[in-house]
A and B are shown apart, each in its own frame.
Chain A
């Protein structure tokens, strides 16, 4: 199994398109860096809280950036940057035909698929944490470190150390949300011959559930939609942290990931390799 994971990893890390997500993360940080560099905290506060504050010094720092950027990109962008490899690992090889070269060898299809899922998951989690690392790194360089200002429920100032811990937890929770979308892409990947279709399929599922999630008529479905649980990371920014709710959402998302993998496994084991 370890050998299979290493093989999959070797193929993925040498493929230039794997790094698309990482480049996109860096690009997305640029407008944030500019706005924080040239913008003024007072204006930001007025927009957020609706009242004028007298600000002494600044709360624009690396932690603030890491949190701010998350609020914007976790909604749509990150799930897709995190899904590119998941959509590619099976469909890409089916398209290139290398799936048949692999599977005429004496390997268990289940083991191959598990190795591919693990690599896809590493990418989903990796891209998410890359966003944290990049915003802390670039933010630290430009704005330095300091206490984390939260405006979720009034103003809450979290000391640097606790702020870092909360961010770490929030990104871990967000990685799980990203992984759940990646798992859908992975499932579609088993059915199609092109990574774009797989990521597109996951996008379609994402949009449809997103629509269902905002239509009141479907209110009774809402607790069961994965999209309802995707903002679980925000709970780590509340005071006090609602651990029970957070745990429930995490369990739902983990369940979705497992269900997608198992469905993919059933399909893959029976699939006729025709490409």
Chain B
């Protein structure tokens, strides 16, 4: 990989094929706890890459290593073809990031925050600052002190500062954390728009399965510091949709369903059946049950919860 990039000298051209971000064997230990353990990641140009994991999985620690805030005990990071450890300034030149909760200067206004932060990466004209503030919907409050902002507004200002240097890649750590449902929808729409219209590659962490499903095309799942799977979202996350069916008599319903090809009765809990099947066939199941004389009282399509998804992945599901 490296030799290919070197052979193709003007490396900008080679960059188009190379992954935007590649991490290999990233590890970090805090005291005795191995927080991140041999994480490999590959984010390609144009991806909206989800980094999915429960609380404490090591998402933020990984993002800190991807942005040079924390030095890994082992492993390497390359961004746009530049080694982060050896050439941090080149590697981060076209990167915007929000690490953990937004951290901004409370005593400065939104616009002053942008000016101060932009100055660290080559500056940004007042027009550019106004442009990103408009993009995140903060133009009306640009001159108020950040102290007076709500959490959602700070989250959006943090996003604005990440966008300032016209990045090719932005890393966002749980960008919808702490937002109300409306705010979540807005931020997700914004992320999709940035990817689609501005061509920005996006890496975002989340502990919400549904969020990753909605906005991402690729995903890596991290659990206890290790990446369990990595691949395209349709393949990994939408693999096993299910229906919860409540019907009486339950045993009879179970037998009827078990006899249908392509349907698997996974479990019985609290008087209902959990059935794994293509969601397009729910009506067929209902018809079969009714024909067999069962009374169907509920048919609820469901998704694996993150918990169940992890149980599946770690193989401890019954």
Chain A nearest CB: distance from B4 CB in Å?
A: 25
**Contact across chains for B116 and A97 when beta carbons are under 8 A apart:** no
Q: Give the shortest distance, in Å, between A274 (CB) and chain B (any CB).
A: 7
Report the minimal beta-carbon distance from B31 to chain A, rounded to whole angstroms: 12
B100 touches which of A6, A100, A103 (Cβ 8 Å): A100
User: Is B71's CB under 8 angstroms from A104's CB?
Assistant: no
| A248 at interface, CB cutoff 8 A | no
Task: Tell whether, in the assembled complex, residue A100 and residue B123 are in contact, meaning their CB atoms are under 8 Å apart.
Answer: no
CA distance A102 to B162 in the complex (A): 11
Q: How far, in Å, is B77 (CB) from chain A's closest CB?
A: 13
Check A103 against B103 for contact (C-beta < 8 Å). no
Residue interface bits A1-39, CB-to-B below 8 A is 1, else 0: 001101100110011100000000000000000000000
| B residues less than 8 Å from A104 (CB atoms) | 67-69, 92, 95, 97, 99
Interface residue total, chain A, C-beta cutoff 8 A: 27
Whether a CB of chain A sits under 8 angstroms from the CB of B226 is no
Instruction: Across the A-B interface, give the 10 residue pairs with the lowest CB-CB distance, nearest first.
Output: A97-B103, A273-B69, A106-B92, A105-B120, A104-B97, A104-B67, A106-B89, A272-B70, A105-B121, A7-B119
CA distance A47 to B117 in the complex (A): 57
Interface of A is mostly: helix
A98 to chain B: closest residue by CB: B103
Task: Assess whether B151 is interfacial by the CB under 8 Å rule.
Answer: no
Scan B101-136; emit 1 where CB is below 8 A from any A CB, else 0: 111111110001000110111010000000000000
Min C-beta distance of A237 to chain B, whole Å: 41
The contact of B121 among A96, A107, A273, by CB within 8 Å, is A107
Q: What is the minimal beta-carbon distance from B30 to any residue of chain A, in angstroms?
A: 8
* Chain B interface residue count, Cβ-Cβ cutoff 8 angstroms: 34
Q: 1/0 per residue B163-193: CB within 8 Å of A? A: 0010000000000000000000000000000
Interface residue B161 (Cβ < 8 Å from any Cβ of A): yes
Q: Mark A154-167, 1 if CB is under 8 A from B, else 0.
A: 00000000000000
Residues of chain B within 8 A (CB-CB) of A112 are 120
* B54, CB-defined interface residue at 8 Å: no
Contact B69 A97 (CB under 8 A): no
Beta-carbon nearest neighbor of A270 in chain B: B71
Q: Is the CB of A106 within 8 A of B93?
A: yes
A-B contact pairs, 27 of them (CB 8 A): A3-B119, A7-B120, A10-B112, A10-B116, A11-B108, A15-B107, A98-B103, A99-B103, A100-B103, A101-B102, A101-B104, A101-B117, A101-B161, A102-B120, A103-B68, A104-B95, A104-B97, A104-B99, A106-B89, A106-B90, A106-B91, A106-B92, A112-B120, A270-B71, A272-B69, A272-B71, A274-B70
In the complex, number of A-B residue pairs with CB atoms less than 8 Å apart = 80
What residues of A have a CB within 8 angstroms of the CB of B121 in the complex? 105-107
Q: Which residues does chain A contribute within 8 Å of B119, judged by CB atoms?
A: 3-4, 6-7
13 further A-B contacts with Cβ under 8 Å, apart from A97-B100, A104-B95, are A11-B116, A14-B108, A96-B106, A100-B64, A100-B100, A103-B69, A104-B92, A105-B92, A106-B121, A107-B89, A107-B121, A112-B120, A272-B71
Quote the shortest CB–CB distance from A147 to chain B (angstroms). 46
Q: How far is the CB of B66 from chain A (nearest CB, A)?
A: 9
Enumerate chain B residues within 8 angstroms of A3, measured Cβ to Cβ. 119, 123
Q: How far is the CA of A25 from the CA of B4 in the complex (A)?
A: 64
Question: Which residues of B136-165 are within 8 A (CB) of A?
Answer: 158, 161, 165
Q: Residue B88 at the A interface, CB < 8 A?
A: yes
